[in-house]
Amino acid sequence: MTLPGIITLDGSAVRPAVNTRSARIGGAALSVTNLSVRRGSVALVENTSLSVATGETLCLVGESGCGKSLTCTAIMGLIDAPLTAEGSIRLLGREIADLPERRLNGVRGRDVAMIFQDPMAALNPIQRVGAQVAEILSVHGTTSAAERGREVLALFERVGLPDPARQARAYPHQLSGGMCQRVMIAMAIACRPKVLIADEPTTALDVTIQAQILRLLRELQDDTGMAIVFVTHDLGVVAEIADRVAVMYSGRVVEEAGVHEIFGAPRHPYTRALMACRVGTGQPGTALPAITGSVPAPSARPDGCVFAPRCDHAGPLCLVRPALTQRGTSGTRVACHHPEEAQ
Amino acid sequence: MNEPILQMNGVTRRYETGGEFFSRPTVTTAVDDVSLTVAAGEVCAIVGESGSGKSTLARLAAGFDSPDAGQVLFRGMPYAKPGSAPWRRERAVVQFVFQNPSSALDPRATIASQIGEMLTTHERCDAATRQLRIDEILDRVGLGGMGRRLPQQMSGGQLQRAVLARALIVRPELLICDEAVSALDVSVQAQILNLLMSLKDEFGLTMIFITHDLGVARHVGDRIAVMQKGRIVENRRTGYLFERPRHAYTRTLLAAIPAATPAARRAWDAAAAKAAA
């Protein structure tokens, strides 16, 4: 998947070629195989497989209700009754899907950490934010309180919180959404996890703060080589941060490819439709090519291809037979009876 | 330019915040000496980050709130005293669409009855005409046959359509949308934006469109006003604003928009590439 960078007249590369980053991308840090999350007999996430390598960012995209967040929650081992999860989750080569809760606590926060979508809801409202970050350090073995204190200040500095000593004493309600999100990120990176799961970490933030957070995640990745699974529905964010993209629809991955392929030559009609309906791509004021209808409820999925009812290219076969995943070169895959030809 | 439908002259709105227990209240100036004119038939987009005063400005423009200084004129006249007969008429002429449709609708009443309530409040019409008007507007927003549903039986996009139907059934002149598409998925957002644009032409609406999304503002706005800390720092035709932003804050905002494609990725990657080379 090496695409040439664009070279300007004076010879300087304005776009980093893919291989400048792929140099740092190593072996699989996390691989999820045939993950399903069910409520009773209804599969909310069905046979989903994903993998992300050291130093790599995988973006998970799709509309609300496609199972993006549930997939993350399942990876973290946070699926609770009435939901059940099955499938294999290998973290740094070790199976964690069937670890008992106590063992999992040793893994969560240290090897794999998660940034939740709504920081206000994820932080404890009646504990100072510094103490909340210190708790993670204490759970994972920093025994000296003084050391934890220093560590928290260093982390706050790292995530760009102004005046760390003062912010550490603040309660979540005294901080803005962007600041709370930075606290969440500080907490997530406190033990230098090998894998970071970020569930829409910038969706609730202003664009300027979003740009700072994306940059911060990038820098942290460059420093520590962590793998990032980044959930978003914003394709602009995908363009900024992804190395690889997995598109989810109604609980399944329908397409996966490198970020340049996804933007340059999307193959699944759903990916193409998502790309087309972004504002800012067409002439202002003209009608946007919207996707008609909505994502089917997991209990009411159609026979055949799940996307067929909303698809412009659906033929007779699509209505009766589910689309199987076809694998292409360099890890790309697409689940469609009539995918656009690969370029 | 058409005649102005809404004029705001030197409008200021302050709030007192805090002041519990022993702390002194602090005064926040949410809208600070803002002047804005919206011409008939125009879509004026207002962009800015959280806390910049966009929503307060929208509430002032709608007459939900009165300014501490300056004046708001609708068709050359200040808004009438709340509760008076002229005020009731004005309420139909200016309509508001909120960000979160599920909290803007009554969870216990059917969509049709909530839309019909607008007619009961603002117009006199018999039951048959009323039903006809409800069916007509539901069809128009793409909810034909769904009038008997409760809000919980509808998706986010359908709810926002219902809110639009409720606003438009009384044929307003000015529609104020406060982050009306922000909570929606891109696919649904595109549907609602398309609907809004076609309704605008059909109903001859003037719109104030509040958003934090510059892409959306560019798509719908004839003109964009950029707000920062309660002030409008730049207010120009959409094309000019994007091509030649004058104010430093506008440039900051434009620079923070995520890239459209990975090829246009931000500078930090280029810097990393340079370091690697």
Check CB contact under 8 Å for B212 and A64: no
Torsion sign over Cα B211, B216, B219, B225: positive
Cβ atoms within 10 A of the Cβ of A174, count? 12
Q: What is the mean pLDDT of residues A133-138?
A: 93
Instruction: Give the mean model confidence (pLDDT) for residues A176-197.
Output: 90
Give the residue-averaged pLDDT of A131-147.
90
Decide the pairing of beta strands A42-53 and A28-39.
antiparallel
Tokens of B46: 């207002």
Instruction: For residue A156, give the DSSP letter.
Output: H
Using CA atoms, how far residue B16 sits from A11, B10, B28, B58, in Å, is 57, 20, 6, 19
DSSP code, position A8? -
Q: Say what the pLDDT of residue B268 is.
A: 52
Residue from A1, A12, A15 whose CB has the most chain B CBs within 10 Å, to mutate: A15
pLDDT reported for residue A18: 43
The answer to whether residue A45 scores a pLDDT higher than 60 is yes
Residue B194 has pLDDT above 60, yes or no: yes
Distance CA B213, CA B256 (A): 11
User: A250: which residues sit within 8 A by CB, 6+ positions away?
Assistant: A65, A66, A67, A295, A296, A298, A301, A306, A307
Q: In chain A, what is the straight-line distance between the N-terminal and C-terminal CA atoms, in Å? A: 12
Predicted ipTM?
Answer: 0.79
A278 to B155: CB separation less than 8 angstroms, yes or no: no
Q: In terms of C-beta density within 10 A (0-12 exposed, 13-18 middle, 19 or more buried), how is residue A291 classed? A: buried
**In the predicted model, is pLDDT for residue B266 greater than 90?**
no
Average pLDDT of chain A to the nearest whole number = 87
Give the pLDDT confidence score for residue B83 in this predicted structure. Answer: 85
pLDDT reading at A9 higher than 80 = no
Min mean pLDDT across A4-13, A39-48, A81-90, B191-200 is at A4-13
Instruction: In whole angstroms, give the CA distance from residue A160 to residue A157.
Output: 5
Q: Is A100 exposed, middle or buried (0-12, 13-18, 19+ CB in 10 A)?
A: exposed
**pLDDT digits over B8-64, tens only?**
999 999 988 766 666 777 888 999 999 999 999 999 999 998 889 999 999 999 999
Q: Which two tokens stand for residue A282?
A: 């067409």
In terms of C-beta density within 10 A (0-12 exposed, 13-18 middle, 19 or more buried), how is residue A208 classed?
Answer: middle
pLDDT band at A328 (very low <50, low <70, confident <90, very high): confident
Q: Tens of pLDDT along B117-152? A: 999 888 888 889 999 999 999 999 999 889 999 999
pLDDT at res. A289: 87
**Residue A206: pLDDT band by 50, 70, 90 thresholds?**
confident
Rounded Cα distance, A190 and A290, in Å? 42
Question: Measured between alpha carbons, how far is B166 from B188 in angstroms, rounded to an integer?
Answer: 19
pLDDT confidence band for A22 (50 / 70 / 90): low
Q: Which residues are registered as beta bridge partners of A30?
A: A52, A91
Q: Are B263 and A260 an interchain contact pair (Cβ–Cβ within 8 Å)? A: yes
Can you state the angle between helices A207-224 and A177-189, rounded to 10 degrees? 10
Judge whether A299 is closer than 8 Å to chain B, CB to CB.
no
The residue with tokens 């007999």 is A41
**Distance of alpha carbon A122 from alpha carbon B187, whole angstroms:** 28
H or E element in which residue B4 lies: strand B4-18
Q: Do the chains contact at A279 and B260, CB–CB below 8 Å?
A: no
Alpha carbon distance B204, B171 (integer Å): 9
Taking residue B123's Cβ as centre, other Cβ atoms within 10 Å add up to 14
Q: Which helix (H) or strand (E) holds A36?
A: strand A28-39
| A5 pLDDT tier (thresholds 50, 70, 90) | very low
**pLDDT of A14 higher than 90:** no
Contacts with A63 from chain B: Cβ below 8 Å: 185-188
Neighbouring-strand partners of residue A45: A37
Q: Rounding to the nearest 10 degrees, give the CA dihedral for residues B260, B266, B272, B274.
A: 90
Percent of chain B scored above 70 by pLDDT?
A: 94
Q: Does the pLDDT of residue A7 top 60, yes or no?
A: no
Residue A263: pLDDT over 50: yes
* pLDDT score of A19: 42
Residue B267 structure tokens: 């500078």
Segment A68-81 mean pLDDT: 92
Nearest beta carbon to residue B187 from set A13, A16, A63: A63
Paired residues of A90 in beta bridges: A31, A95
User: For strand B4-18 and strand B25-39, is the pairing parallel, antiparallel, or unpaired?
Assistant: antiparallel
d(CA B195, CA A287): 9
Cα–Cα distance for residue pair A177/B212, rounded to 1 Å: 15
The answer to whether A99 and A107 are in contact (CB under 8 A) is yes
User: CB distance from A218 to chain B under 8 Å?
Assistant: yes
pLDDT computed for residue A278 by the predictor? 86
Distances (CA, A) of A71 to A67, A191, A231, A241, A243: 6, 23, 10, 20, 19
| pLDDT for residue A84 is more than 80 | yes
Three-class SS of residue A196? strand
- Cβ <8 Å between B155 and A21: no
pLDDT band at A13 (very low <50, low <70, confident <90, very high): very low
Average pLDDT estimate for A65-92: 92
Closest listed residue to residue A137, CA positions, set A191, A183, A83: A191
Query: Number of A:B CB contacts under 8 A?
Result: 148
Which of A244-248, A311-315, B271-275 shows the lowest mean pLDDT across its residues?
Answer: B271-275
In which element (H, E) is residue A338 found? none
Q: What is the mean pLDDT of residues A22-39?
A: 86
B43 forms beta bridges with B207
Q: Are A311 and A284 in contact (CB under 8 A)?
A: no
Cβ pair A177:B190 closer than 8 A:
no
pLDDT number for residue B145:
87
* List of chain B residues whose C-beta atoms are within 8 Å of the C-beta of residue A219: 268
Of B186, B214, B272, the CB nearest to A233: B186
- Beta-carbon count within 10 A of B127 CB: 8
Q: Which residues of A touch B194 (CB under 8 A)?
A: 287-288, 290
Task: Report pLDDT digits (tens) over B202-211.
Answer: 989 999 999 9
At residue B12, the pLDDT reads: 96
Return the minimum-mean-pLDDT range out of A88-97, A242-251, A329-338, B66-75. A329-338
In this prediction, residues A149-160 reach a mean pLDDT of 91
Q: Is A287 on the interface with B (CB under 8 A)?
A: yes
